[in-house]
Structure 1
Amino acid sequence: MSIEVKICGLTTAETAHAAAGAGASYLGFMFFEPSPRHLTFGAARRLNPDLPDGPERIGVFVNANDRFIAEAIDAIDLTWLQLHGSETPEEVARLKDKHSLPVIKAVGVSEPADIEQASAYYDIADAMLFDAKPPKGAALPGGNAVSFPWHIMQEASLPEKWLLAGGLTPDNIAEAVKLSQASILDVSSGVESEPGIKSIPAIEAFLRAAKAVS
């Protein structure tokens, strides 16, 4: 099984090129102000010309409106939308049609029932992202460096394309893949030296580890 990787929360050309050079299939950019990984539109426009070709560019949004999403798409030439808020299946379908881009719908998971409820999106979203539910009181819907019981994915009804996120690091990739049977991994805080600051050695280590279990 070949493992694909999304490096999320990128804010610099240097780390984006490191991710692409090490084999990342997807680069994620966060458009959510409370996040330490947030990109302003101005920063995204400045970053855009220096980004590597090849990997898909995914914009991460949390209950964003049409104008906000459209401006982000224009700023950094996004090829996917990732919806990480409380968007309903109807809203996911509308945004997908409105912006003419494929959509990843993220859902928080702590038990099998959470995965079952997510099935309402399977016929609408182009991919699902299963992330750990944020800790009580957390300000962010993801990037909290916590995981969920990965083994519950094996017994769940899953869509054709899905990503695993939550608490992933270079050291636990092999276990995560073994227990969940995921083929696409999404990492953000697990390759940082501090919140919002990506570590090139950690990015490279994560991708080496992913290739080792492929």
Structure 2
Amino acid sequence: MDGVQTGVKICGLTEEAGLEACVEYGADWIGFVFFERSPRYISALQAKALASRITGSIRKVGLFVRPDDTVLERVLDQVDLDILQLYTTPERAVQIQAKFGRPVWSSIPVASQADLPRLCTVERLLIEPKPPVHATRPGGNAQQLNWDLLHGWQPGYSWMLAGGLNPENVSQAVAITGAPAVDVSSGVESAPGIKSPDAIARFIHNARSPAVS
């Protein structure tokens, strides 16, 4: 990772101030959540309006939970997403990537080193903690992964670290795990679904700054 800037994804955008902060401070990806149980859920029309304000090279990621083709088609008719982020089976993820002609990222919840996947059949995997037993959604629960599980882990594919990250801990997380990219949602919010521009600025800066030992 020497000399390579850590990639940053800000997920769960619902309003203009947060999106504009992502543009201003140089996020690599912004995420829209198309899962109705999430406090960060956004309609395709709302996402279209926000996406029209994106400038530069920021890529648009749509997050879906076990979507059928109809759901994906309805959203893509409104929003030209660059990437589809999925909670689904590996087989279904490959099928969706082929059918819709867009890169797919698959979210992989882990609790131990044995859960770390050896292979990746889509563009990228998101490594995050397993949700609580009674959680109503598979991700976005503000849980922090045990980063030591990833110390020295060097898979032969693209991946991203997610789960419980915030401006205060992201530099240490990158230092311990060697994550080439990081994903944050609730960790840069002032209220559920409402992003803090200041927290976004600090998160992006700290993700790309080495941890102080």
TM-score by length of 2: 0.92
Q: Do structure 1's residue 213 and structure 2's residue 206 form an aligned pair?
A: no
Once the two structures are TM-superposed, the CA of residue 49 in structure 1 deviates from its matched residue by 2.1
Q: Calculate percent identity across the aligned residue pairs.
A: 38
Once the two structures are TM-superposed, the CA of residue 141 in structure 1 deviates from its matched residue by 1.2
Amino acid at match of 1:78: L
CA distance in 2, matches of 1:168, 1:109: 16
Partner in structure 1 of residue 179 of structure 2: 182
Partner in structure 1 of residue 106 of structure 2: 105
Partner in structure 1 of residue 84 of structure 2: 81
CA distance in 1, matches of 2:208, 2:176: 17
Once the two structures are TM-superposed, the CA of residue 44 in structure 1 deviates from its matched residue by 2.0
SS at match of 2:208: helix
Deviations 1:13-37 (A, max 9, x none): 3311211210100111100000000
TM-score by length of 1: 0.91
Deviations 1:67-111 (A, max 9, x none): 111222232210000002xx2222111100110000100011111
Q: How does 1:1-214 map to 2 (within 5 A)?
A: 1=2, 2-84=5-87, 87-115=88-116, 118-120=117-119, 122=120, 124-156=121-153, 158-213=155-210
SS at match of 1:129: strand
Q: After TM superposition, what 4+ stretches of structure 1 lie above 4 angstroms from structure 2?
A: none
CA distance in 1, matches of 2:179, 2:206: 14
Structure 2, gaps ≥5 residues long: none
CA distance in 2, matches of 1:65, 1:126: 20
SS at match of 1:50: coil
Q: 1:48 to 1:155 in 2, by over 3 A?
A: closer
Contact 1:47 1:76 in 2 (8 A): no
Q: 1:74 to 1:13 in 2, by over 3 A?
A: farther
SS at match of 1:15: helix
Q: 1:53 to 1:70 in 2, by over 3 A?
A: farther
SS at match of 1:47: helix
CA distance in 2, matches of 1:67, 1:37: 21
Once the two structures are TM-superposed, the CA of residue 191 in structure 1 deviates from its matched residue by 0.3
CA distance in 2, matches of 1:172, 1:49: 32
Contact 2:18 2:194 in 1 (8 A): no
Contact 2:106 2:125 in 1 (8 A): yes
Q: 1:148 to 1:26 in 2, by over 3 A?
A: same
What number of residue pairs does the alignment pair up? 208
